[in-house]
Chain A
Amino acid sequence: MRFLFKTDYEDDIRLFPHSGYVVSYGLLLAVLLIAPYLLSSYLMSQLVFVCIYATVGVALLILTGFTGQASLGHAAFLAIGAYTAAYLQKYNVPFPVYFLAAGALTGCIGALVGFPALRLQGIYLVIATISFAFIVEEILARWESVTNGNEGMRVKALSLLGVTVSRDSPTFYFLCLAVLVLTIVGTLNLLRSPTGRAFVAIRDSETAARSMGVNVALYKVKSFAISAAITGFAGVLFAHKLSFISPEMFTLQLSIEFIIVILIGGTFSLHGAVLGAIFIVMIDPFLTYLKDDMPGIIAGIAATFGAGAATAANIQSKVAAFAALNGLKGAIYGIIIVLFVLFEPLGLYGRWLKIKLFFQLFPLYKRATFKRQKIYVKSERNR
């Protein structure tokens, strides 16, 4: 185990506490950079979605994890980013311009949503953000002159510096990766400066934050604006990746997926956003696999235990009918959230830290070594 002896204020400020971090993150970056030349096109596509979801996850972490303001409206911010890109693209606005414009517009709208949020706490804020998401969804469906209504909009391949970048090309993946890395670095910078600490202060005790000179209203609005702007940037990439957007893509389900990203990844560290994004992107093909193959497998097991051919076929069709039920995916998501909140409130990243600690302390690790804390669910105590 390594002991850090701090001899300088820099030791607390720098992003990589010691050389081990530089090596491991360097290796990770190297792997990510050669990934397009190793992985199949399907996995590359999934990796691009991981980058986009992780970017939104970081945005949501700023708002929910660090400022303590829950939001179920991030699908709407993503939609605003995506539609801004699609609309401006029709008028041949170059990519860098509409990319920034989408972020700026979404940030402004995020700030506007932040204002009513000043008066709301906890579950009421969640309801307000859901309403906002519904309003946006409805506007996208009705404002046909701009959004093309329920027919949706095509998004052309983006062109960067005169070169067309297809949505399946390595360049597009590198672009998404760059956006993710820049978002993470920017957020880390924020968290080690006064603004980030003010966010955390608001999360833990608004009264104390106020009495220390933090303008709580201003910082809540800032948090909303930053979170929304980052989600807007992700929205542009999302639109390009899908090459077609329509209002029914940006539903409550998507907002819940973003919440799952941070809940399952861990709400106390940016690692959580990335781990959660990997989880949510990879669980979809896994569920599809279960849906397609489970009925056959279960029928096969039943047959080996002596069920007749007719019974096995009956079981197979029943299981298949169950797997095809509407809303089953939502139920599975719900169960996953409940299990994580109950048994691993620190998420996948918390689990990773425990495993790491286990090996660092090898024969000495006890469960109590790692103090369990509920970080996400904050009581109503401090107003």
Chain B
Amino acid sequence: MTYFRAENLSLHFGGLKAVDAVSFAVERGEILSIIGPNGAGKSSIFNLISRIYRPTSGRIFFEDQDITEQPPYDIAKLGIARTFQNIELFENATVLSNLLVGRHRHSTTQLWQELLFLPSVRANEKLHRRRVEQVIEFLDLEPYRDKLISGLPYGVRKVIELARALCSEPKLILLDEPSSGLNVEETDDMSFWIRDMKSELGVTVLMVEHDMSLVNRVSDRVIALNYGRVLAMGSPSEVQQHPDVVAAYLGA
């Protein structure tokens, strides 16, 4: 029994095979990185998992449940959260309310209860805020909690996106290029957090990343893709020395 499994996953746009019969599995509690040159289909796989695209063929299983036909909003309810390559935050809201949206899958109150703000709603709100506060502390976001996103620098937004995903208390988290646009110091912080997420919060991580030093530091296993196909799979060093991977990157 595998935790998360993609079987023969394909995504074709007309004649272009963005993802072509890709199969892989993620074990519970591991950090799996997907690497590959631009246009290799890495982000497309994420968009297939979070149902932004519908796969041309293939199936996706999570905790032995077929999630290929689930609507996109149910993916989060199952415990799969994600971040985006080009930050998708709620620009005109505060950091706190962005993170509280991350709690959406845990909200149980009905509309009429919310209109009256019954004690049950209040109790729920406090619970959400307590959880959000734990994530804020985990990622050192205290100075920004009441700021509007539109006024924050890129590096901070990147962390807030990670925080929003963590607020949903995911079992599996999809990180789309967590270090893009970050400086060396911020990338270091990110690598610590990714490892802490695994060890302290017990989150399984599936990550697309270009920065090989980050990949080497955090990954348990690596998958290399090119032209929508899997080139190699294995430990970070194995994959980097694989002749096909070297050829794909250097064009030899």
A interface residues (Cβ-Cβ under 8 A, vs B): 9-10, 12-13, 186, 189-190, 192-198, 200-201, 203-205, 207-216, 222, 226, 268, 371, 373, 375, 382
Contact = CB atoms under 8 A, between A and B. Distances in A.
Max chain A Cβ within 10 angstroms of own Cβ: one of B84, B88, B105: B88
A204 B150 CA distance: 11
B116 A211 contact: no
Nearest to A226: B111
A226 to B, nearest CB: 8
A194 B114 contact: yes
Nearest to A376: B92
B112 to A, nearest CB: 10
- Main secondary structure on B side of the interface with A: helix
Contacts of B93: 197, 200-201, 204
Nearest to A188: B117
Contact of A190 (B71, B75, B107, B115): B115
Nearest to A383: B52
17 contacts: A9-B129, A12-B129, A189-B114, A189-B121, A197-B101, A201-B101, A203-B92, A207-B88, A208-B88, A208-B90, A209-B101, A211-B72, A211-B81, A212-B164, A213-B104, A222-B111, A373-B148
Contacts of A212: 76, 81, 101-102, 104-105, 164, 168
A13 B132 CA distance: 14
B73 A186 contact: no
Given A201-B101, A210-B72, A213-B105, 7 more contacts: A12-B129, A13-B129, A211-B50, A212-B105, A213-B74, A226-B111, A373-B150
B92 A375 contact: yes
B109 A194 contact: yes
Nearest to B102: A212
A40 to B, nearest CB: 36
A232 to B, nearest CB: 16
B5 interface: no
A369 to B, nearest CB: 12
B114 A214 contact: no
B91 A213 contact: no
Contacts of B52: 207, 210-211
B104 A12 contact: no
A9 to B, nearest CB: 4
A216 B151 CA distance: 26
A13 B130 CA distance: 13
B42 interface: no
A234 B93 CA distance: 29
Contacts of B105: 212-213
Max chain A Cβ within 10 angstroms of own Cβ: one of B74, B101, B111, B126: B101
Contact of B96 (A12, A194, A214): A12
In the A-B complex, the 7 residue pairs with the smallest Cβ-Cβ separation, listed nearest first, are A213-B76, A194-B107, A204-B90, A213-B105, A193-B114, A208-B88, A189-B117
Given A197-B97, A200-B97, A373-B92, A210 B109 contact: no
